[in-house]
Amino acid sequence: MISVAWKSLRSRWSTALLALLAIAMSVALILTVEKIRRDARTSFTQTVSGTDLIIGARSGSVQLLLYSVFRIGNATSNISWESVEDIKSRNAIDWVIPLSLGDSHAGFRVLGTNLDYFEHYRYADKRALSLASGKHFDDVFDAVIGSEVASQLRYEVGDNIVVAHGTGSVALVEHDQQPFTVSGILEPTGTPVDRAIHVSLQGIEAMHIDWRNGATVKGEGTSAETIRNMELKPTAVTALLVGLKSRATVFREQRAINTYREEPLLAILPGVALQELWGLVSVAENALMIVSVFVVIAGLVNLMSVLLSGLNERRREMAVLRSVGARPAHVFLLLCIESALLAIGGIIAGLVLHYLIVGAGSFYLQDRFGLAVPLTLPQQADIQILVGVAFAGLIAGMIPALQAYRKSLADGLSQKV
């Protein structure tokens, strides 16, 4: 029976192939949409781990999360160093990682921080940052770069880099009096850390010493040696990552910081803010999903139309089958098997296409958005989608099959040739 169906399909391979391709493309689309949705979430979720609170200027929790951790968008204002000292001195607080953003190098963000960053920052499943080569910064002009910065700009430990004011890739003012030296390169993490250049808070201050007057004049900059001997005290930072001694105190600290009198600050729980972000994003995700579902339906309608139009051409074939002893049920089954073969073939081709798309696109996504989209085996949700498509394909095939079942004999014999 299957071999008959197979041969029947082969004899009309061009229309069959088109139907299969339509299903394949719709399956690939729905799988890819689902995968990017899932991986975007994982990628975001994995970026920050083990941080109890993020503190920034008072704005929105989602905004604070985006600019502090994912480096998307900019801060509304900074936190004064006095407040940072105040927060650090609170009893419940275990560690504080200051983050100072706002400068760039060749399109990559420069992050001013301190050594606590390397000690306490965690990503994925509470993994710490580790160095692929070199060492952490210990001089004002040392920089530790992320793996992607290193690979894209071909930097190695010991290279000099010049940091620019502002975050555009074409900067108007370059802090070229104070070149930084790459002191270390981090292991890849699959997070925005890979795309950051880490310098000390003193380094951030140092590169702005000549900027303080409003602009720099070439050739008149302060020498690196002079700066090293200056006492560089940061005046403000963009955000703080905070770890607490006990999880039980998170909400109390959050409330205390949100009602801190000296400066309007906002403390957020990163996981909670992420959840809020998903709430916003889910509208767009649902829209994408609905579009994908309709594309799948269109693919199945196409399958049905191919089979139905095929029926007309195959009246004789059916009649011959009946005359050699095939019962109407056999004809019905034959058409069902044909549509199932097409649907399953479409699903397999769709899977292959999906992996090709993901394989080709993942470099781009990683490069442009720092989004890790690795090739993985189909997840449970994917399998549910595939089973759903297969079932829908079978049902779509049953309609022409029923029609053939009803009129196979009379139709075929009465036809004039």
Binding residues for another protein, rule: CB under 8 A, are: 49, 52, 90-92, 246-248, 250-252, 255-256, 258-264, 269-272, 275-276
DSSP state of 215: S
- Report helix, strand or coil for 259: coil
Nearer to another protein, 39 or 205 (CB): 39
Instruction: Give min distance, CB of 194 to another protein, in A.
Output: 22
Q: Is 149 exposed, middle or buried (0-12, 13-18, 19+ CB in 10 A)?
A: buried
Q: How many CB atoms lie within 10 A of CB 118?
A: 19
Query: Can you read off the two tokens belonging to residue 216?
Result: 């720099």
Instruction: Give min distance, CB of 390 to another protein, in A.
Output: 31
Instruction: Give min distance, CB of 270 to another protein, in A.
Output: 7
Q: How many CB atoms lie within 10 A of CB 297?
A: 14
- Report helix, strand or coil for 268: strand
Nearer to another protein, 7 or 261 (CB): 261
Nearer to another protein, 62 or 295 (CB): 62
Instruction: Give min distance, CB of 251 to another protein, in A.
Output: 4
DSSP lists the bridge partners of residue 123 as 127
Nearer to another protein, 133 or 259 (CB): 259
Question: Could you tell me how far CA 244 lies from the centroid of its own chain?
Answer: 29
Query: Can you read off the two tokens belonging to residue 279?
Result: 């709430």
Dihedral sign, Cα of residue 212, residue 77, residue 47, residue 357: negative
- List, in sequence order, the alpha helices (H) in 110-263: 116-120, 147-153, 201-207, 224-229, 250-258
AA letter at 21: L
Nearer to another protein, 49 or 305 (CB): 49
Nearer to another protein, 92 or 348 (CB): 92
Instruction: Give min distance, CB of 273 to another protein, in A.
Output: 8
How many helices (H) and strands (E) the chain has is answered by: 13, 15
Instruction: Give min distance, CB of 52 to another protein, in A.
Output: 8
Please report, to the nearest 10 degrees, the dihedral formed by the alpha carbons of residues 311, 313, 315, 320 taken in order.
Answer: -120
Nearer to another protein, 81 or 369 (CB): 81
Instruction: Give min distance, CB of 87 to another protein, in A.
Output: 10
